[in-house]
A = this chain, B = another copy of it.
Amino acid sequence: MSEAGHNANAQLKSIIDRVESVETEIKSLQTDRADIYTEARSNGFDVKALREIVRFRKQDAQKRAEHEAIVDTYKNSLGMT
């Protein structure tokens, strides 16, 4: 194989390795998060509600208000008071 071919090959291998390494770390952290929730449940917390809180806090306040406004409009249209 040519030099160029070899280099591309080595580069490719490096890219895949780095991505897979990062993804391994991500998966590990996802497991950590799951563990936190599991521990919380065993301490009497409602995990579904906890997830909702985290989601809520993550949303930008402005966007959130706009979204709520639209949802309310739809609810009113449908008579869901």
Which A residues fall within an 8 A CB radius of B?
A: 8-9, 11-13, 15-16, 18-20, 22-23, 25-26, 29-30, 32-33, 36-37, 40, 43, 45-46, 48-50, 52-59, 63, 66-67, 69-71, 73-75, 77-78, 80
Contacts and interface: CB of A to CB of B under 8 A. Distances in A.
B40 A52 contact: no
| Copies of this chain assembled into the complex | 4
Given A29-B29, A53-B75, 10 more contacts: A11-B43, A12-B77, A19-B50, A25-B29, A46-B77, A49-B67, A52-B69, A53-B74, A53-B78, A59-B63
Contacts of A67: 46, 48-49
B48 A78 contact: no
